[in-house]
Structure 1
Amino acid sequence: MFAKAFRVRSNTAMKGSDRRKLRADVMTAFPSLGTSQVSELIPGKEELNIVKLYSCRGNAVTVYVSGGNPILFELEKNLYPTVYTLWSYPDLLPTFTTWPPVLEKMVGGADLMLPGLVVPPAGLPEVQKGDLCAIALVGNRAPVAIGVAAISTAEMLTAGLKGRGFSVLHTYQDHLWQSGHKSSPPFIAPLTLDAPELSEEKGSVQSDSTLQGVMRGLTLEGEEEEETEKSPQICGMESPSEASDDPTDSRTHQEKMDELLLQCFLHALKCRVKKADLPLLTSTLLGSHMFSCCPKGQQLDIKKSSYKKLSKFLQQMQQEQILQVKELSKGVESIVSVDWKHPRITSFIMPEPFQTSQEDDREQPYHPPDIKPLYCVPANMTLLFQESGHKKGSTLEGSEVRSVIIDYAKKNDLVDAYNKNLVKLDPVLCDCLLEKNEQHSIMKLPWDNLLARCFEKLQPAYQMTFPRQEPIVKKGKICPIDISLAQRSYNKKVTVVRNLEVYGLDPCSVAAILQQRCQASTTVAPVPGAKDSLQVQIQGNQIHHLGWLLIEEYQLPRKYIEGLEKAPKPGKKK
C-alpha cells in the first residue's frame, strides 16, 4: 500500500477527546494490550498528530503520528499498527517468519506467498482468513511487515504451503516508514528457532536438501525466483565455484565479502573522504571512493555480501555511530557527518599495497583539457589539398589550411598581377569553393573571402588533450556543456547540466560539490535517448553557482558553456 509515495491531504494536532476515543478503539482492536501500554502508546500530553493522506492506489488513509513516528494507520475503519509500534510490542500480533531476500520484494509491493514461509519447530501460528499478522525475518523477532492472512493456517497446511499467504499492507523501508525517523529494526531474540536445524538423518525434514528446496521455492505474487544459484549463499554456504583456494580458511564467501566491504569502507573514510566533501552522496562514496580502494585482484560485490545493498550496510555503520546518513532529497541518501575519531577508523591499518602508494591514491586536481579546433578534408576538396600531400579525411589546423591555399595559388600563378589582394579562380578552386550559379559569374576572389569560403567547405573537427594523456582527435563540432532550466511538478524549477563527460568531469563528483555549495538536492541520471551520457539535476535555478564552478574553479573557457545567460538576475536595490 505504501510501496510508492503518497499524497498528504492534511496534518492536524489531535485533541484530547480524540485521544480518548483512539485509546478506546485501540483497546477494542488489540485486547492483548493493557491500559498502561495503551496510555504509553497514545500519550496524554505529548504531541500527537492526525495525518490524512491518499495512497498511490487512491485509498483514503488516516495515520496517527506520535513523536515524529507513525504509530497507527486506519483504513476503511480498521486500525493497523506500524512497524514502529510492533518493535515496542512484538507480541501484539501472531508472527510468521520469512527469509531476508523476501523483504526486498515486499517493500516493492509484492504480497507474501506461502513458499516463502519458514515453519518453526513449534509449527505455524493459528490464524483465520482476514486476521491481521506480523511478518519477521529469520533470526530476529522484530516484525518487518504487517499483512492480512489470505487463508487460515489449516488451509495453508492443506495446500502444502503453496499459493498466496498474506496481503501485505505496510513494510519496513516503505514510504510510511520513511515518514518517521527511519530507524532500523531492533534485535529481538526469537522465542524458538526460526529455521530448522540441518541434520544428516535420512528422511528428516530438517535436511540440507529440504532447506535448499524451501529457498528455491521462494515465490512472490506474479514472479518467481529464477536465480537458484543464490540459494547456497542464503543458507550461509559457498557454491563450489566460490570455494576458498586456501584449505585452512574456513570462512564463507559471504563472510569474506563482508570483510572486504568493511575494509574498502574504512579505507575510503580514512584516506579519501574529507570534511569538505560532506554532504556526500552514498552512490558517490561507493563509485568514486570505495571501488578504488579495493585491493588489486579482488572485486567488491555488495550483492554477494550479507547486506545485499549499500543502504543496509550504511545503516549498520550508522548504528555503530561511525557516520550519519540522511535523505536530503526524495529517494537520494547522503552522508552528512563522519566521526573520524571513531575507534574503527583510527585503528584501521591500510593494506600493504596502498601504504606504498598513498600519493598515487590521492585524487588529482582537475585540469581542463587543451582543445584545438581542426578541419577535415571532405571528398569534394581532395583535389585542392592533394598537391600538399593531404588526402580525404586528413585533419589540419587553421594555419596549415592557410598555408595550403596560399601555396596552391602561388604555384599555379593565380595571384592577380595588377592587384595582389585578388586570386584568380582555376577549375579546381571553382569546383571546391563556388556554388553552381556562381561558377560563370565570379572569376576572382579577395584573399579573405577565398579563405573564408575554404574554411566553410571544410568539415569541422577538434583535438582534445588531457594532462598526461595522448591527444584525442574527433570529427564534428565539440559539444558544449549544456545548462538548461526545466519545470517540474508544482511549478518547481530545476537546473539540468549535460555533456560534462566530454570535458573529463565526473557527473557524480560535480553533483556532490553542487549539493554542498547550493544547499539543494541533486540527482544524477542517464540522458534521455543517450546510452553512455549522464546529466546532473539541481533543485532551483543554480546557473550562477554552475558558472562559477565551471569557469573559476575548473578554468573551462566560457565559449564551451551554453546557457549561462539564464542565470537569475540580482534583485533591484531599494
Structure 2
Amino acid sequence: MFAKAFRVKSNTAIKGSDRRKLRSDVAATFPTLTSEQLSEVVPNKEELNVIKLYTHKGEALTVYANGRNPIFFEIEKTLYPTVYTLWSHPHLLPMFSTWPPVLHKLTGGADLMLPGVIVPSCGLPQVERGTLCAITLVENRAPVAIGIATMSTTEMMAAGMKGKGFTVLHTYMDHLWGFGDKSCPPTVAPLEAEPSEMVDAEEELQEDEEEEGNAPKNSISVDPSLQTDSGNPSVEEAIQCAHLGEKEEPNENGSPETTEEDNPEDSRSPQEQMDVLLHQCFFHALKCKVKKTELPLLTSTFLRNYMFSCCPKGEQLDIKKSSYKKFSKFLQSMQQQKIIQVKELSKGVESIVDVDWRHGSIRSFVVPETAASESPVEDSKGDDGEQPYRSPEIMPLFGVSSKMAPLFQESGYKKGHTLSSSEVRSAVINYVKINELVDETNKNFVNVNPVLCDCLLNKSEQNEISKLKWDDLVSRCLDQLQPFHQVTFFGHEPIVRKGNIDPIEITIAQRSSNKKVTIIKNLELYGLDPQALANILQQKVQASATITALPGTKDRTQVQIQGNQIHHLAKLLLEDYHIPRKYIQGLEKAPKMGRKK
C-alpha cells in the first residue's frame, strides 16, 4: 500500500474531541492495552497530527502521527498500527516470523507467501482468516510488517504451508515509515529459543559453505541497516520470497534446504570474498551511480540506494561477514586512502562530503560486464520503475470573447475558441487583407474601421486614432483576448486551463528564534511530486522538510524546508528538472555568497 510515494492532502493538529475518539477507538481495537499503555500510544497532552493522504493508487486514508512518527493509519474506519507503534508494543498483534531476505520483497509491495513463513517447534499462533498480524524476522520480535491473514492457521497447515498467507499493508522501509524519523527496528529478544530444526539447518548451511569455500549469498542475521528496497516483485518472486538463494527452498518446517552449486571452488575464505564484493559495490557505486551534485550524501543512503543496487544478481552484500564488520569502519578505511571524505554534519549522522574521482582505485576499476549491460535499463527509469521526470511543454493561448468575435469570424473562429499567438496574428492579417485596410501611402500602417475601433480602441481613442502600426495592432488584439494556457506532459493529452499558469513560487518566511524557512508552492502544476522533491532537498541540504496543505486550495500542497535553500532549489529546478526560469518566481531571494578568503 505504501510501496510507492503517496500525496499528502492535509496535515493538521488533532482536536480534543478527535483525540478522545481516537483513544476510544484504539482501546476498542486493541483491548490488551492497559490504561498506562494507552496513554503512551495516544498521549493526553503531546501534539498529535491528523494527516489526510492519497496512496499512489488513489486510495484516501487517514494517518495519525505523534510528533514526527506515524502511529496509526485508518482505512474505511478500521485502525491499523504502524511499525513505530509495534516496536514499543510488540504484543498488540499475533506474530509470524520470516527470513531477513524476504523483507526487501515485502517492502517492494509483495505479499507474504506461506513458504516464507517459519514454523517454530511450538507451532504457529492460532488466527482466523482476516486477522491483522505482525510479521517479524527470525531472532527478533520487533515487527517489520503488518498484514491480514488470508486463511486461518488450520487452513495454512492443511495447505502444506503453500500459497498466499498474508496481504501486506505496511512495512519497515516503505514510504509511510519514511514519513517518520526513519529509525531502525529495535532488537527484541524472542520469547523462547530458536527451534532446533532451524539451528541445525543454519549449522548445516555454514558447514557446506566452509567446505566449498563459497561466501554465503544471503544473511540471516538481523541488521536493519542492510535491508534494501527492490521495487515491485512479481507474484512468482513473492512465492519464492523465502529462498536464501536462487536454488534454496524452505521445507515445511521453515528451515532452508540448500542445493549443490555448479560454481567452481574458490580458495578464498568467505570473509575474503565478502571483502571483494564490498569493494566492488563501493567502487561501482562511485564510478557509475553517485553524481557530484548529490554530495553531501548520507552514508546510510549511499549504502541502501547505491551500493546495494550495484550488488551482482544472485549475491547479497553482508558487511557483518566482511573483515570490517561495520560500514563505518569500511568508510574510515576508504577515507584513510583519500578516496572519500566523511564528516558528521549533524550529531550522530555521517555524510560523504567529497569524492576523489581522479583516485587511481576509482579510475582503474572496471565495471563487471553483467552490471554494464543492465545499467542502461536501470538508468532509463526513475524510482519504482517509473519514467524520469520530463518538464512539461507550456504554451500561452488566447480565448475569443464576444467583444472580439467579429474580428475573428472571417477566419472561422467563434466565441470560446482558443488560439495560439501565431494563429491570432494570422487571423488579424487575414481580416486586414479581406477588408483591404492596409494604408496605401504607408504599408506599415493599417486603417482602423468600425470593427477594429470597437474591438481595440478605448472610448478616448476612438475619435483620435485612425491608423495603427502592424505591431501595435497585433499587441492590442492579444491584450483584449482572454488568457489561457496549455500544458502538455510527456505521453499525455494536452490540458487547457483558463488564465495564465501560476509560476513555482519560492518565498522565505521568518519563524521563531529568527530562523528562516523556504516555502515552495505550485509544484503540482508542473507535474512535480512535492513529497519527492522534499525528500531530494532533505537529502541534499541535510535539513528537515515537511509537506503541508496549501491554504485556499483543495488538492495542492506546499513544501517547507529549514533555512534559505534557494541556491539548491535553483540548481534542482533549472538544471535537473529543466523548468524555464520565467516559470520560477523568487530566485532573486537567494542568500548572497561571501567572498572566499
Q: Structure 1 length normalisation: TM-score?
A: 0.48
Is the radius of gyration larger for structure 1 or structure 2?
Answer: 1
Q: Structure 2 length normalisation: TM-score?
A: 0.46
